[in-house]
Amino acid sequence: MSAAVASMSRLHASAPLRPVRLGAFDAVLEREASGVIHIRNAQVLAPYHAKLSEPLEHWAKAAPDRVFLGQRDAEGRWRTLSYSEVLALTKRIGAALLRRGLSPERPIAIISGNDIEHALLALAAMGVGIPYAPISPAYSLLSTDFGKLRAIVGLLTPGLVFANNGGPFARAIAAAVPSEAELVVTHSPPENRKATLFADLVGAEDDAGVAAANAKITPDTIAKFLFTSGSTGNPKGVINTQRMLCSNQAMIGAGFAFVADEPPVVVDWLPWSHTFGSNHNFNMVLVNGGSLYIDDGNPTPPGVPKTARNLREIAPTIYFNVPKGYEALVPHFRADETLRKNFFSRLKVLFYAGAGLNQTTWDDLTQLAIETTGERIIFLSSLGSTETSPLALACCWDFDRPGNIGLPAPGVELKLVPNEGKLEARLRGPHITPGYWRQEQLTRDAFDAQGFYKIGDALKFADPADASKGFLFDGRIAEDYKLSTGTWVSVGPLRARFIDHFVPYVRDVVFAGPNRDDIVALVFPDVEACRKLAPEHSVDAASAAILDDVRVRLKFVSLLQALAASSPGSSTRVMRAILMAEPPSMDKGEMTDKGSINQRAVLKNRAALVDELYATPLSSLVIAIAGA
């Protein structure tokens, strides 16, 4: 351990942890003779709502004037709606939806992002038993062929499609939305397409009809369809029932007990087309009577300043983000005392998911919290997927480094099955999807003979001698492979180690090497970070020119050499790499709408570059360690 790291560790250890009430998870472990391990929580799952309309009705009565939803308007002012206002609007919209005869066979598709109208339409639909599907806007705005959007719409056969602003979505609507589906927009209807304005959905009341439809909703009623990111092909339509969503909130509450003590205040950009932003965060605010301020930013150069502006004005009590989002915010926290003081003023928890948080960002945020408040803020994380609502395992205790994903929440059964030297995780409980919409074979393949969902992740004990210390993520089973020597390469941990070692110069990496002698890498660099190594290049310079600069290449050679020196064997030693000037393509399936990499698609589409990495003599593109 370096002197700087040791000093940082001592400082962190000496600072008090800000008080926060968390649940206590106790593991009950049973081992089979076959090597299979079953783990559950000793705590019984608390009773939960039968449907999500129940907490909305409760808070509209208990705290009618409390802000539920906030969003900046065109002038930058906060537009807010209270619980009573949201309930009244959703009932009127629900009546309009019932008059249209919508159903699971003709559901609602929402192709635009997070906004108040999106939330009202979603809550209204669920309140009268009509499923809706929030679809990633990237499939409409970033795609050029609209292939995934067409596949989703074809699978859903929606009766109504909503986009907040018809202008930017016009091409996608023309390409993928059938004429028989009603189009609803908040404003700017596309030309040559009949559209209903969202304001016209807030029509005549029908309290009796809405009440009757709501009474028919059961825990098994489909609430929504969420589409997986399509890392293995076209996105799959995951059925989300009312039971899944409501039981999962009870699981979240069991670990994050403080959300029941005071209404949570959340500032969040995470998209509602994904389970983290919608089922986890949005529903947590709703169930606990909190306030959700919709963040119009994101972890991109133009988006981060917007997030910083919002956090300068609204102090969250719990903050959710992906690791790249935290990393992007650190410079803003350092530079802006007002932002820093407001952000940490009443913050109880820093929550990350979606990927592993690197140690540097963890230390930076901890240091900033201590300097600002004199206290550490606890980091928490969890494990789950679209099919698990999402939370299945959660870490609800203080841990000294990133990576602990905790233990099964109450009501969750975890089965660990030995698989090629790893422990493959499988899950069962009321939060698990019944399957994929209109995709029976995919549903059958997703479950084992005992009804456990095969999540595809490998886990390992944080402390092999003490199961109560939780689990660490040990990679995706489908990504791992063998070298020609028969040695297994565990891609997930290697990827996390590689990216952490190359901070801030690497965004992602794909490893090749099945049946080869060595591991090689296709590296997707952070071009802006690399530009700082060669500042003479203008902001308009081509990525290839920056990455070909001798200073950039020497930096990567040095870091690759250092990584190899600390790698004990062939299964963790990366011998050669090529820096990708061309970013991953969504249309080619190389990148999901969440920005994560599809390893198989990258290797397939860039097979010529993989061959170049193994060719002798080495080409000018290849960066290699000595002796490679």
Q: Which of 221-235, 331-345, 427-441, 567-581 has the lowest mean pLDDT?
A: 221-235
Which secondary-structure segment (H or E) carries 31? Answer: strand 27-31
Instruction: Indicate the SS3 state at residue 39.
Output: strand
Q: What is the pLDDT of residues 549-578, one digit of tens each?
A: 999 999 999 999 999 999 888 889 999 999
DSSP 443-498: HHHHB-TTS-EEEEEEEEESSTT-GGG-EEEEEEGGG-EE-TTS-EE-HHHHHHHH
DSSP 163-212: EEETTTTHHHHHHHS-TTSEEEEEE-PPTTS--EEGGGGS----HHHHHH
With a cut of 90, say whether residue 169 has pLDDT above it: yes
- CA 406 centroid distance within chain: 17
Name residues whose C-beta falls within 8 Å of residue 413's C-beta, 6 or more positions apart in sequence. Answer: 38, 39, 40, 427, 428, 429, 452
DSSP 12-24: HHHSPBPP-----
What confidence score (pLDDT) does residue 112 get? 98
Share above pLDDT 90 across residues of the chain, in percent, rounded to a whole number: 83
Q: Which of 98-112, 463-477, 535-549 has the lowest mean pLDDT?
A: 535-549
What confidence score (pLDDT) does residue 492 get? 86
Q: In what order do the strands lie in the sheet with 574-579?
A: 506-512, 519-525, 574-579, 623-624
Q: What is the pLDDT of residues 85-125, one digit of tens each?
A: 999 999 999 999 999 999 999 999 999 999 999 999 999 99
- CA 360 centroid distance within chain: 21
Q: Give the residue from 574, 466, 20, 82 showing the smallest Cα distance to 292.
A: 82
Where residue 157 falls among pLDDT bands split at 50, 70, 90? Answer: very high
What confidence score (pLDDT) does residue 419 get? 92
What confidence score (pLDDT) does residue 35 get? 96
Q: What is the pLDDT of residues 433-447, one digit of tens each?
A: 999 999 999 999 999
What confidence score (pLDDT) does residue 4 get? 46
Give the separation between CA 424 and CA 435, rounded to whole angstroms: 20
Q: What does pTM read for this prediction?
A: 0.89
DSSP structural state of residue 235:
P
Q: What is the pLDDT of residues 365-393, one digit of tens each?
A: 999 999 999 999 999 999 999 999 999 99
What confidence score (pLDDT) does residue 13 get? 66
Cβ atoms of residues 79 and 70 within 8 Å: yes
What confidence score (pLDDT) does residue 11 get? 55
Name residues whose C-beta falls within 8 Å of residue 14's C-beta, 6 or more positions apart in sequence. Answer: none
Dihedral (CA of 296, 161, 292, 325) sign: negative
Cβ atoms of residues 623 and 577 within 8 Å: yes
Where residue 233 falls among pLDDT bands split at 50, 70, 90? Answer: low
Where residue 356 falls among pLDDT bands split at 50, 70, 90? Answer: confident
Q: Which amino acid is at 236?
A: K
Average pLDDT along the chain? 93
Give the separation between CA 85 and CA 64, rounded to whole angstroms: 8
Where residue 8 falls among pLDDT bands split at 50, 70, 90? Answer: low
With a cut of 50, say whether residue 1 has pLDDT above it: no
What confidence score (pLDDT) does residue 5 get? 47
Share above pLDDT 70 across residues of the chain, in percent, rounded to a whole number: 97
The predicted model gives 242-248 an average pLDDT of 98
With a cut of 70, say whether residue 304 has pLDDT above it: yes
Name residues whose C-beta falls within 8 Å of residue 62's C-beta, 6 or more positions apart in sequence. Answer: 289
Instruction: Please list the residues that pair with 246 across neighbouring strands.
Output: none
Give the separation between CA 358 and CA 355, rounded to whole angstroms: 9
Pairwise pLDDT comparison (392 vs 203), residue with the higher score: 392
Q: What is the pLDDT of residues 512-537, one digit of tens each?
A: 988 899 999 999 999 999 999 999 98
What confidence score (pLDDT) does residue 600 get? 86
Q: How many C-beta neighbours within 10 Å does residue 78 have? A: 14
With a cut of 90, say whether residue 344 has pLDDT above it: yes
Give the separation between CA 426 and CA 436, rounded to whole angstroms: 17
With a cut of 90, say whether residue 598 has pLDDT above it: no
Cβ atoms of residues 498 and 509 within 8 Å: yes
Q: What is the pLDDT of residues 70-88, one digit of tens each?
A: 999 999 999 999 999 999 9
What confidence score (pLDDT) does residue 493 get? 87
Q: Which amino acid is at 211?
A: A
Give the separation between CA 358 and CA 317, rounded to whole angstroms: 23
The predicted model gives 28-49 an average pLDDT of 97
